[in-house]
Structure 1
């Protein structure tokens, strides 16, 4: 059986430094199904890859890290 990996991107305007990357990566990485978290400080984008990703859970994890998703 082949697992299909999904990708979701979030705009997070408050990303500004390495602390942001660590905080967001740590919280989002704990969400079930997440296999990879990439935080682009310059573009202010969080890219999440995994299987069976739950948008609400990912948004809640970013919120728990102390950041708001735009839109």
Structure 2
């Protein structure tokens, strides 16, 4: 299934996952998603039906970097 990662700067990254159930389960377990070295927090997922095709979009917010002391 195709997944659309909706980044906060209005960019969209499309990827394909073999098992959407596993991806959605993993998103429940983790706090952050890292894409190209930048951490994001997933805050919304949506099922998209277009022209007989199904996709899932996952909206992401930028997560502030943490300083370890």
Q: TM-score if structure 2 supplies the norm length?
A: 0.29
Bigger strand share: 2
User: Which gives a bigger RCO, structure 1 or 2 (Cα 8 Å, sep 6+)?
Assistant: 1
For the pair shown, which has the larger CA radius of gyration, 1 or 2? 2
Q: TM-score if structure 1 supplies the norm length?
A: 0.29
